[in-house]
Amino acid sequence: MRLDVVTIFPEYLEPLNVSLVGKARARGQLKVHVHDLRAHTYDRHNTVDDTPYGGGPGMVMKTGPWADALDTALADGYESGAHAPTLIVPTPSGRPFTQELAVELAERPWLIFTPARYEGIDRRVVDEYATRIQVQEVSIGDYVLAGGEAAVLVITEAVARLLPGVLGNAESHRDDSFAPGAMANLLEGPVYTKPPEWRGREIPEVLLSGHHGKIARWRRDEALKRTTAHRPDLIERCDPAAFDKKDREMLSILGWAPDPAGRPYGRFWQRTEGMEE
């Protein structure tokens, strides 16, 4: 996979040299090209922004430098044999970044990121490139960052670990929280390693039992507890058919009951009285 990033802060992308993404690069599984947007300005002050039409606070990034930088990155990529680029525009007004989108992007051969600062990029840039290549405007959550660079790091890490051969064990993604196609998307429960006792704290006995069935059941119950506590919305969306008898017993203990009107796009599960907090 080829990645291009155009930014006014190339040094912000240094973490792409480290850890999983850094190793994927070193192995040639990922080719990363970071471009300085200011190298595509032609005035004395290397201006990349200007005041917004219609007034208002902040500045807007100008069309010229982005178009020049993108044309250069596109020409370089095509020349080196890359094809089918996807432009990823990080913006809080984008489509939510999810594991499902990460899987989708991991199947693309070439991603080009345009992290912006200020109030964003002149709309015409996205509209123009959307006539030529696939464009995805993506948000990494309901909060506002000062710029899109951190979002590029987030998206890149989530995508890179899905590439064939990047994680040691191909099975590793199957159990990911939010793995698409799972019967029920539950959060993963706690994990433990040696020593067996630390500061007077022991390991849950079942994990030392060697009884794989009981261990799987315990892990499932812990996942149901954790999901109830942190992401009840994930339980509400689960099809009752995704749960076996033991799951339903635990859900009932945790204060859940199937919603009598439960249906797709609505709520399948509802909380029973006395489970708030």
* Residue 141 or 266 having the CB closest to ligand 6GU: 141
- Find the helix or strand (DSSP H, E) in which 26 lies: helix 19-26
At residue 90, what are phi and psi to the nearest 5 degrees?
-75, 125
Q: Are 165 and 28 in contact (CB under 8 A)?
A: no
Exactly one of 140, 153, 159, 166 binds ligand 6GU (CB under 6 A); that residue is: 140
Is 52 annotated as catalytic? no
User: Whose Cβ is closer to ligand 6GU: residue 85's or residue 148's?
Assistant: 148
Cross-strand pairs, 90: 138
Residues within window 84-103 making contact with ligand 6GU, judged by CB under 6 A: 90-92
- How far CA 204 is from CA of 149, 184, 200, 225, 272, in Å, comes to 41, 24, 13, 15, 29
- Concerning whether 204 is annotated as a catalytic residue, the answer is no
143 known ligand binder: yes
Nearer Cβ to ligand 6GU (48/251)? 48
Choose, by CB under 6 A, the member of 84, 144, 191, 261 that binds ligand 6GU. Answer: 144
Told to judge if 71 belongs to the known catalytic residues of this protein, a careful annotator would answer no
Considering the candidates 15, 52, 92, 232, report the single residue annotated as catalytic.
92
Q: What is the Cα–Cα distance from 243 to 1, expressed in whole angstroms?
A: 37
Please give the size of the binding site for ligand 6GU, defined by CB under 6 A. Answer: 13
Q: Which of 24, 61, 121, 151 binds ligand 6GU (CB under 6 A)?
A: 151
Residue 137 · residue 94 · CB < 8 Å: yes
User: Is 53 an interacting residue with respect to ligand 6GU (CB under 6 A)?
Assistant: no
- Report d(CA 20, CA 166) in Å as an integer: 7
For the question of residue 201 being annotated catalytic, the response is no
| Count of C-beta atoms within a 10 Å radius of residue 219 | 19
- Catalytically active residues are 92, 119, 161, 176
The residues binding ligand 6GU (CB under 6 A) are 90-92, 138-141, 143-145, 147-148, 151
Binding-site positions for S-adenosyl-L-methionine read 140-145
